[in-house]
Structure 1
Amino acid sequence: MDSSDADSAERTGPADSDPTDRDAACFEAGIKFGALYHQFAGTPVSPESAPSLETAMEDAIENQPFCERVTVDILTEKLAAEMTGGYTELTGRFMEVEIVVDHEGVEVVTRMEMEDGYPLMKIDSVREP
């Protein structure tokens, strides 16, 4: 093995493999969160319009492949405290989200909540057949 082979082995790890169904399911969940967050962040929202925005967000993301369920909870008490001129912009600190993805029988449950001032998206569970 020459030095270029050794360098390549270090970069790719001991052995490359095709992604598993578990890998793909987790990837799909990440895609759903990226779409949800970046599509709706900055949307003007008030406590009165929050329920319709929750529904729109859930319906939009549930249209995507492999998405089983989306639950968006816009925290209206926090919204009300931040409003200026009757509304504020939606950010991660104003919502809690759960997304469930099923890819090839692998179910991934993901969640977004504030943690240390940051809207952290994480995997709660992975269930395989």
Structure 2
Amino acid sequence: MLTDRETAIFEAGIKLGALYHQWVGTPISRKSAASVETAIEQAVILQPFVEEITVRLNRDLMTENTFGYSELSGLMFEVEIVTRVGFAYCRACLSPCETYPLMKVVECHEIPPVSRN
């Protein structure tokens, strides 16, 4: 049986992995980047255990092809997510690390329930 902390970590990782694989390759431009950031946030926040998510896309990496757009790549992502299971919280991120989009757990903690005497 997994602890709430372990489940919160798993949920953060699975959400980031799904986000990455779902959105990479999406046609994007500097003009549409803000609406894509919002769309990703609004889609992911609907999922179970997600408390917060922030998505920022690096517009400097968006170069236009012949048709006026580029494709979203993993190196463009700056994502931070917070998941909660029970009283356990996990903060994880997806961000570029040199030439690779790295997903990592930033912190995990548990907030004990308040006793009501």
Normalization by structure 1: what TM-score? 0.82
The match for 1:44 among 27, 40, 59 is: 27
Aligned: 1:120 with 2:99: no
Larger-Rg structure: 1
Aligned: 1:84 with 2:65: yes
Between structures 1 and 2, the one with greater helix share: 1
- Secondary structure of residue in 2 paired with 1:26: helix
Please, which runs of 5 or more residues in structure 2 have no aligned partner? Answer: 112-117
Equivalent runs, 1:88-107 vs 2, <5 Å: 88-107=70-89
- Secondary structure of residue in 1 paired with 2:56: strand
C-alpha distance in structure 2 between counterparts of 1:89 and 1:78, whole Å: 10
Aligned: 1:70 with 2:53: yes
The structure showing larger relative contact order (alpha-carbon pairs under 8 Å, at least 6 residues apart) is: 2
Aligned residues: 110
- Secondary structure of residue in 2 paired with 1:119: strand
Structure-1 residue corresponding to 2:12: 29
Segments of 4+ in structure 1 off by > 6 A? none
C-alpha distance in structure 1 between counterparts of 2:107 and 2:74, whole Å: 21
C-alpha distance in structure 2 between counterparts of 1:96 and 1:77, whole Å: 13
% identical equivalent positions = 45
The residue type paired with residue 36 of structure 1 is: L
Between structures 1 and 2, the one with greater strand share: 2
**What is the RMSD computed on CA atoms of the aligned residues?**
0.9
- Secondary structure of residue in 2 paired with 1:97: strand
Alpha-carbon distance, 1:44 to partner: 0.2
C-alpha distance in structure 2 between counterparts of 1:35 and 1:113, whole Å: 15
Normalization by structure 2: what TM-score? 0.90
